[in-house]
Structure 1
Amino acid sequence: MFEDLSSKLEKAFQSLKGEAKISDVNIAETVREIRRALLDADVNYEVAKEFTNKVKDRAMGEDVLTAVNPGQQFTKIVYDEMVTIFGQEREDIEVAHTPPTVILIAGLQGSGKTTFSAKLAKYLKEENNRNPILAAADVYRPAAINQLKTLAESISTPVYSIEQKDAVRVAKEAVSMAKSLALDTVIIDTAGRMHVDEKMMNEVAEIKEAVQPNETLFVVDSMTGQDAVNTAKEFNERINYDGVVLTKLDGDTRGGAALSIKTVVEKPIKFVSTGEKLDALSPFYPDRMAQRILGMGDVVSLVEKAQKEFDQEEAEKLQKKIKSDKFDLEDFRQQLQQIKGMGNISDLVGMIPGAGKALQDKEIDEDAFKPIEAIINSMTPEERRNPEILNGTRRRRIAQGSGTKVRDINDLMKQFNQMKKMMKQFSGMGKMGKMMKGMKNLPFG
């Protein structure tokens, strides 16, 4: 995510390395490189200009502390202005005082509206204990209705649809059904077009007028850069939506749409989507996104994801097993399953401070765990609990059963034993305490 922009911003800060303090000369050079990086990332020209002017003014003003490392000081200034450009605080969905809360979803065809509608339903069920119903108001494409029904079935959520091509009727009747079934949320998936047209705008406006939604969200494909921003502006002028959803953020290495849209449209980004899976949806936090772009990772989001997957009681049992050197392949397999449950591996790596830069030119294989799981699954319960009994005969049988080679099993066992040693070394609270103290030395710790 935003790898190109992150890399270019880091290069822009290089001119401050080795400098004793921030000066007019190195400010000018760094600001020039930052503006170039933003424009290369397809950030709106006026937004890039305003952003760099503010950075320059702050860097030359009395806010600068000459006693602080100039590189860190300048990064802090850029970070603060980036948070401002993203909107300062997270903005949540408006909830109706009297149920149901009605959420209208709009956007161009191919932006990911239908998938987002299902993702939002899943998110609201799990995070807010809500009971949603999905309304299939994209009445022109049978595939869209079928897709919504398939996705909804996987998350045990009802869908309202009709045979007639009457989107307004679908929306109104879905709201009525929600009231009759005591469902507290209605998510209306509307039709999209390949481009903005009058018919599309009129229909969304009519639906909005008919159901008076509490929240109207515009879904935009972040990979389309400035086109996304222009489309968002046109939609907002017509239907005055409440917030933006950026999809396909995992494939966007530039970041132009994300950095431009709040300023140009003057509406907050409320959610970001980073993959096809229904759990690949996150509320948008301006400060966390700024940290990721500046290579600082997003430890808070990573911890939140981990907390959802890892049971505290199980974690304590696991720690005891690690300390007593009883961590086995059964435990390892369980950990792999939980890590996979946290979401897209590339996205997780990007949350680790410095990892994005370290793995910038490396392909991260989302299926990397599959051969490992196949090998472990081909073992007997006894072999998983006591891997030391894996002799040559057993390894050949496991290789044949998992579709791998004996050397793959040898490599796995070598890595597993190394990992056990490392885990045992860092399981002591003393060393963990030292690690936590070290984090205070980070620029924003």
Structure 2
Amino acid sequence: MKSFEVNFDGLVGPTHNYGGLSYGNVASQSNSQQASNPKEAALQGLAKMKALMDMGFVQGVLAPQERPDVAALRSLGFAGSDAQVIEQAAKQAMPLLVASCSASSMWVANAGTVSPSADTADGRVHFTAANLNCKYHRSIEHPTTSRVLGAMFADAKHFAHHAALPAVAQFGDEGAANHTRFCREYGEAGVEFFVFGRSAFDTRYPAPQKYPARQTLEASQAVARLHGLSDDGVVYAQQNPAVIDQGVFHNDVIAVGNGEVLFYHEDAFQGTEQMLAELHGKLAKRGGNFQSICVPRSKVAVEDAVRSYLFNSQLLNRADGGMLLIVPEECRANPRVWAYLQELTSSGSAVREVKVFDLKQSMQNGGGPACLRLRVALKENELAAVNPGVIMTAPLYGTLTQWVDKHYRDSLRESDLADPQLLLECRAALDELTQILKLGSVYPFQIN
């Protein structure tokens, strides 16, 4: 039976703005208060989806969230009509209004963790929505994320869904941004690689000193248990706390893997040699030949990796057996990074080709190509059970670009978030989107 790695990209929402909400995310903070262009952001993301579809990859779409989140504001004491809630928040606590308008759900690498059926005890694809409790503006996402994923992967014969972990610091979970799976073939048993920034209970693991470590070892272990993963199919590794303090807020900012290949920076991990040996040994027992590509700090400094998002790239298996790296335009603009990529593709490594995409709108808010997609490995019969409305096709691409042109603003500043009309625009857009993607009622305004 055929198997596929399907990339479900997050559709950028109508309230895409530069609120600078993510402490530890250098790009997010450095571009705070600039005017954003939601329409351009959504169209850039859609262009990437369409390009990958045209290359022969199976591509899906993951819907954005309702923003501003008026229910979240009400839970914090603002009252009255929707318009009054927004007005009060704007006057009394503008940072809370900005947080409630965040379009960060577009980074669906944080939507949850996914384990393919070949790895799980019950032979189903398992999803656990990420609690994202390190940042308030992201912690409010998981209820809607769970409903959207449930509408996309609804067949209980093939798919199992788990609620987010307890929303406490000890179980901070950032989803697939800290999770990678290695395998010989997508439909065969693989090795799931969980990267954590700190341990909540074990003091042997050093913690960063400047920026928070968002993913805990305990959260990763809990997800592995929920998904029914066996010990011989899991490897845990700690992110280097020194690189977290340089702005590497998730592992996918310093490493990316796919198939049998891990592409990582020399300074990415603690105990690198032991980790590589464990990955090699466990994958070998499952028929795979683990390969690692280490980018030395002498060629690409961590600072350059963070600025260019070299590792927040999509590493894709081409039909001819080579690998394709999808990078943002910022990689080509960085002379050291671009020189390294030219060397990499001409050196006989597993990475044969690099393609560049303009994703400036999301990059300025701290997320690149890998942040924008959630990977789901599916067997042929499981892919057939996915809601067909969310699988990208040429007609769907055309419909979605028209939908964006109809509903999205081309400029958004912080002061615009206080406009009650923005909520009405967002709801109208999402109500139409659920019909386009055949999701049913997944948003609070549709349910309540």
Looking at CA atoms only, which structure, 1 or 2, has the larger radius of gyration? 1
Could you tell me the TM-score, scaled by structure 1's length? 0.23
Instruction: Give the number of the structure whose residues are more often helix, by fraction.
Output: 1
By relative contact order (CA 8 Å, sep 6+), the higher-ranking structure is: 2
Instruction: Give the number of the structure whose residues are more often strand, by fraction.
Output: 2
